[in-house]
Amino acid sequence: MKRIQLQAEIREKSGKEESRKLRKTGYVPGVLYSPRDKNNILLKIPEKEIFRFLSDKKHSHGIIDLEIKADEAKKLTRLAVIKDFQYDSLQKKINHFDFYGVALKEKVTLVIPIVLEGEPKGVKDGGILDISLREVEVECLPTDAPEAIVIDISEMGFNDVKTLEDVVLPKEVKLLTDISRVIASVVAPTREEEAVPEEEAEEAAVAAPEAADKAKDKEDKATEHKAKE
């Protein structure tokens, strides 16, 4: 897996008030939980940069070359993965992020995207592709992690199903997601004849008042006949 570079800066203080001040200046506060360091490292990253990074799922799930600016003369470099981030959906802002430091010789748990290639035969014949799974969780060394799991679906016909059992991974990569999970299937479209055609619906709407009028006329005649008796 290609490592992605991301630049961050050390922040000196923690706390809600300090984090609020950072956000007002265009930064997002975060933490690097690093087994390599005695203490966790407090970070800040420009909001535009972390938003761009997290918007690309292929990058945000991978191994990160984190370059940390401590001061004008000193920089730290750490390998990390992003473990969590807090997103405010109302304001559309990222409020906080968590990185976790990794070592090249230690296995890590990663989320890998699934990429479907080709147009299924069943879709060409009028079917619908139903995608159920877009990413999986794996365990491996950082250097063995694939950028994506690519699956050819061009031969899928009606009612064909792809599950994780159909996926072949390198022996160095252990799949953690349940292998029975469905990735994608091709389903037949709903039969048109099962729906009431628009023309029939209009005819029924017109016929209903006429039928009601005829029924009322019949009822009135019956009432009049009884009165005469």
- Contact by Cβ (8 Å): 83, 33: yes
- Contact by Cβ (8 Å): 16, 3: no
Residue 74 confidence class, pLDDT cut points 50, 70, 90: confident
Backbone angles phi, psi at 53, to 5 degrees: -65, -45
Give the number of other Cβ atoms within 10 Å of residue 64's Cβ.
Answer: 22
Which residues contact residue 57 at a Cβ distance below 8 angstroms, ignoring those fewer than 6 apart? 113, 135
Which residues contact residue 4 at a Cβ distance below 8 angstroms, ignoring those fewer than 6 apart? 53, 59, 62, 63, 64, 65
Domain ranges across the chain: 4-103, 109-189, 199-228
Residue type, 84: D
Span 4-103: which CATH code? 2.40.240.10
- Contact by Cβ (8 Å): 117, 153: yes
d(CA 129, CA 141): 34
Q: What is the pLDDT of residue 193?
A: 43
Q: What is the pLDDT of residues 78-101, one digit of tens each?
A: 999 888 888 888 878 889 999 999
User: What is residue 188's DSSP assignment?
Assistant: P
As assigned by CATH, the class of the 109-189 domain is mainly beta
Strands 174-175 and 149-152: unpaired
3-state secondary structure of 143: helix
- Contact by Cβ (8 Å): 54, 85: yes
Q: What is the pLDDT of residues 12-53, one digit of tens each?
A: 888 888 888 999 999 999 999 987 777 899 999 999 998 888
